[in-house]
């Protein structure tokens, strides 16, 4: 397997959340390491969160599993269990269909970097328990009652 030249990969900035939910993650950046390697069963992202940034809205997946490993800096993992500090060398995992909404927040004054690993499922749905938002591949982002959000203008 050839080495992935991480410096040449495009950075994805922000999120695809509809307004008003996009602002919390607008400073995050991701590089799709798994895509660069041609992986199809699971994805791997290099996630960078500057001070104050969130990884996402708090969420859980119906059919996908997630794993996070902190490479540098520190992040606060917020879930239904409360708050836990994750530092370099710490990891967290989230099984599929476990309705425990979670996300990472950088409350420090330094950049935090982590690896995100997740399975890929065409059947996945994402629930955002704190806000009126759901996602699935067939309907994209909707309200909890199924009404679609307007298309993004950004």
pLDDT of 153: 56
Whole-prediction pTM value?
Answer: 0.93
74-79: strand order across its sheet: 82-87, 74-79, 102-105
Q: Domain limits of the chain?
A: 15-142
The count of other CB atoms within 10 Å of the CB of residue 22 is 15
What percentage of the chain exceeds 70 in pLDDT? 97
Percent of the chain at pLDDT exceeding 90:
94
DSSP SS3 for 128: strand
Average pLDDT over residues 121-129: 95
| CATH architecture, domain 15-142 | Sandwich (2.60)
pLDDT tens, position by position, 42-99:
999 999 999 999 999 999 999 999 999 999 999 999 999 999 999 999 999 999 999 9
pLDDT the model gives residue 1: 58
Give whole-number Cα distances, 138 to 7, 112, 125, in Å: 34, 33, 9
Summarised one tens digit per residue, pLDDT across range 35-44 is 999 999 999 9
């Amino acid at each position: 397997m050839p080495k992935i030249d991480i410096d040449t990969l495009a950075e994805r900035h922000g999120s695809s959340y509809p307004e008003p939910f996009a602002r919390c993650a607008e400073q995050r950046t991701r590089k799709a390491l798994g895509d660069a390697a041609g992986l199809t069963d699971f994805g791997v992202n290099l996630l960078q969160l500057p001070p104050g940034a969130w990884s996402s809205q708090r969420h859980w997946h119906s059919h996908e599993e997630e794993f996070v490993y902190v490479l540098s800096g520190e992040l606060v993992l917020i879930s239904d269990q409360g708050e836990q500090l994750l530092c370099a060398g710490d990891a967290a995992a989230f099984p599929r269909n476990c309705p425990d909404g979670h996300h990472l927040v950088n409350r420090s004054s330094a950049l935090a970097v982590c690896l995100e690993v997740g399975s890929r499922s065409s059947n996945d749905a994402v629930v955002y328990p704190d806000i009126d938002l759901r996602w699935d591949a067939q309907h994209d982002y909707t309200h909890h009652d199924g009404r679609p959000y307007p298309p993004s203008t950004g």
